[in-house]
């Protein structure tokens, strides 16, 4: 094909972009400002409410960007964690009894949370009853083993305390 018959532009790449103005031909910055000024000079009943609404909407968008820019960027303050303080002279039996109490509280909290989740599952139509039977059996078996282990440790700790009279703490580390 000859270059004169080509359907594509020939010559330097994109020669027409350099000659284009920023605004289209009938619009210039001067004419745009005069149009805006003439709009504000006219007495239209919806002019000021729409202007206020557009300014408010623009500021809401700018505010959202400012809030989003500050989200999760500021250093967090130090968090204070409170722990339960125990007497250093308490016996092993007292420690094991507290572990049994804590285990019972934990199980009660798990069962309460499970009832809540079962309610949510019922709302969404999820069948949970078969799994609940299986998981409850597993949890009861594990709880039975843990309690048996704690009972054995408790009996050993109480026997050690009885065999060493006058000692406030047996089996615990001495400072």
User: What would the mean pLDDT of 39-66 be, rounded to a whole number?
Assistant: 90
Please answer whether residues 110 and 142 qualify as being in contact, where contact means their C-beta atoms are separated by less than 8 angstroms: no
pLDDT, position 103: 94
User: What would the mean pLDDT of 22-26 be, rounded to a whole number?
Assistant: 65
pTM greater than 0.85: no
Model pLDDT for residues 126-155, shown as the tens digit of each residue: 898 989 999 999 999 999 999 999 999 999
Average pLDDT, the chain: 82
**Tokens 């305390």 found at:** 161
Model pLDDT for residues 100-130, shown as the tens digit of each residue: 999 999 999 999 999 999 999 999 998 989 8
- Model confidence at 173: pLDDT above 50: no
- Model confidence at 169: pLDDT above 60: no
């Amino acid at each position: 094909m000859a270059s004169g018959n080509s359907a594509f532009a020939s010559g330097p790449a994109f020669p027409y972009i350099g000659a284009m103005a920023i605004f289209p031909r009938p619009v210039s910055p001067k004419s745009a400002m005069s149009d805006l000024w003439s709009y504000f000079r006219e007495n239209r009943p919806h002019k000021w409410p729409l202007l206020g609404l557009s300014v408010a909407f623009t500021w809401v968008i700018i505010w959202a960007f400012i809030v989003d820019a500050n989200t999760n960027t500021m250093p967090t303050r130090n968090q204070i964690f409170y722990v339960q303080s125990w007497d250093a002279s308490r016996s092993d039996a007292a420690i094991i009894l507290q572990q049994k109490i804590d285990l019972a509280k934990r199980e009660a909290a798990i069962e309460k949370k499970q009832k809540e989740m079962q309610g949510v599952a019922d709302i969404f139509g999820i069948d949970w009853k078969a799994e609940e039977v299986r998981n409850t059996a597993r949890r009861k078996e594990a709880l039975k083993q843990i309690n048996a282990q704690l009972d054995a440790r408790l009996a050993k700790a109480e026997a050690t305390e009885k065999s060493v009279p006058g000692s406030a703490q047996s089996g615990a580390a001495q400072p």
